[in-house]
């Protein structure tokens, strides 16, 4: 009676090498590719150990197996990059290697990776052209330790459904970590354990935002989800208070004095900051001299000061339906850096000499001081 040959016999490894040709696989996926039944997994692992000793197969990061002699990620169709979510059904990986194009990842292949996480992924076979596709193998670095979402209670157990991430599994919140949150409330939670395999991630609630239909809660969810700063350090506020005085002779010295020129602030009716103003004069030979004047914020922001460092972190002011998260503390943003009518303000001015046919003939720039006549 002849014995049927095992396709993964250490003396005949062709099937194993062929299965690993497209790229690394986990032990489970490799066994599945070779049709190894569950009862034969232990024997298969011992056989695979023989191949490791003989260097025909190598074990790489994350417990994956690849072809021996080609351990480099590129040779193994591996790529490292950052996850960017586009839709509920899919995301993209932006490779660290600028020479590589973005890779499409179906939500089922994200393996619990979240937006902005750095991951290692395998480029899938027959994945070419304009839509290369990948499957996440492991998360290399987590981008966020806190999640915002909806708390769901089921008997004594609690769960967090992350906001805007329908492809991410719910996190378990033990009873002692629920902070008296009610079913359906929006919360902020600290991750205490990330999902691994079939085991759900765990988290503890650190802030209760309120019911989703409560006014302002939806905006607060956006603020927390994106990590937007709502307050300033005491050092930055102290510096702002020290600078928030009306311009005097010292501040005006050396600037082009435009306080006698008719200038109007042009920010819209619903604008919350005033930082644009214009002037316009007839030119003797025809045409116009148009002046555009913006707040000279750089005068107040000296490099590497507390104000400068906090402004860098923010990058811009954020305008939300019920609030403004200013880039600078209010003594500056709505005070001396705001071109309110009737006040002297330090500005940067651009003047353009415009011909009657609309051509710009000449442009020049000045550090200036203005006094807006109205809005």
Q: Where in the chain is the domain with CATH 2.40.50.140?
A: 78-141
Domain with CATH 2.40.50.700 in the chain: 146-225
- CATH number for the segment(s) 146-225: 2.40.50.700
What's the rounded Cα separation, in Å, for the pair 50 and 276? 73
pLDDT over 90 at 283, yes or no = yes
DSSP conformation class of 229: -
* Res 123 pLDDT > 50: yes
DSSP state of 39: G
Pinpoint the residues of the chain covered by CATH 1.10.10.
Answer: 14-67
3-state secondary structure of 80: strand
pTM of the model: 0.67
**8 Å CB contact between 343 and 375:** no
pLDDT of amino acid 4: 44
pLDDT at site 28: 82
Is the pLDDT at 168 greater than 80? The verdict is: yes
Number of other residues whose CB lies within 10 A of the CB of residue 178: 20
What is the torsional sign of CA 343, 334, 237, 347? negative
For the residues 229-249, what does the mean pLDDT come to?
94
Percent of the chain with pLDDT over 70: 91
pLDDT of the residue at 31? 83
Q: Please tell me the distance from the alpha carbon of residue 185 to that of residue 315, in angstroms, as a whole number.
A: 31
What are the E-state strand segments in 155-266? 157-162, 171-173, 185-193, 202-211, 256-257, 264-265
Distance between CA atoms of residues 247 and 190, nearest Å: 46
What is the CATH number assigned to the segment(s) 78-141? 2.40.50.140
Average pLDDT, the chain: 87
Query: What CATH number does the domain located at 14-67 have?
Result: 1.10.10
263-272, 279-288, 364-373: the lowest-pLDDT one? 263-272
């Amino acid at each position: 009676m002849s014995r049927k040959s095992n396709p993964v016999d250490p003396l005949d490894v062709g099937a194993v090498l062929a299965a690993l040709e497209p790229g690394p696989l986990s032990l489970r996926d490799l066994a599945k590719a070779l049709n190894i039944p569950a009862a034969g997994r232990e024997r298969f692992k011992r056989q695979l150990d023989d191949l490791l000793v003989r260097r025909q197969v190598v074990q790489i990061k994350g417990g994956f197996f690849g072809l021996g002699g080609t351990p480099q990620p590129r040779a193994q169709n591996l790529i490292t990059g950052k996850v960017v979510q586009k839709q509920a059904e899919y995301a993209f990986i932006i490779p660290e290697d600028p020479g590589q194009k973005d890779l499409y990842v179906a939500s089922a292949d994200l393996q619990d990776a979240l937006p902005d996480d750095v991951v290692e992924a395998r480029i899938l076979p027959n994945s070419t052209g304009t839509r290369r596709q990948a499957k996440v193998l492991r998360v290399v670095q987590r981008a966020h330790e806190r999640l915002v979402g909806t708390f769901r209670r089921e008997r004594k157990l609690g769960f967090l459904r992350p906001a805007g991430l329908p492809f991410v599994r719910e996190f378990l919140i033990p009873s002692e970590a629920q902070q008296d949150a009610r079913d359906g409330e929006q919360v902020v939670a600290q991750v205490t354990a990330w999902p691994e395999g079939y085991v759900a991630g765990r988290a503890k609630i650190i802030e209760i935002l309120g019911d989703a239909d409560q006014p302002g809660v939806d905006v607060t969810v956006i603020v927390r989800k994106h990590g937007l700063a709502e307050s300033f350090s005491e050092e930055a506020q102290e510096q702002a208070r020290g600078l928030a005085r009306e311009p005097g002779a010292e501040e005006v010295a050396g600037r082009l004095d435009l306080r006698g020129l008719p200038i109007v602030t042009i920010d819209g009716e619903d604008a919350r900051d005033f930082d644009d103003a214009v002037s316009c004069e007839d030119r003797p030979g025809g045409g116009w001299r148009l002046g555009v004047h913006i707040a000279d914020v750089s005068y107040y922001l000296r490099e590497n000061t507390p104000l400068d460092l906090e402004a860098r972190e923010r990058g811009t002011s954020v305008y939300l339906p019920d609030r403004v998260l200013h880039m600078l503390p209010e003594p500056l943003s709505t005070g001396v850096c705001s071109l309110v009518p009737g006040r002297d303000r330090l500005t940067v001015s651009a003047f353009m000499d415009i011909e009657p046919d609309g051509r710009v003939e000449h442009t020049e720039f000045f550090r200036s001081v203005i006094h807006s006549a109205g809005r």
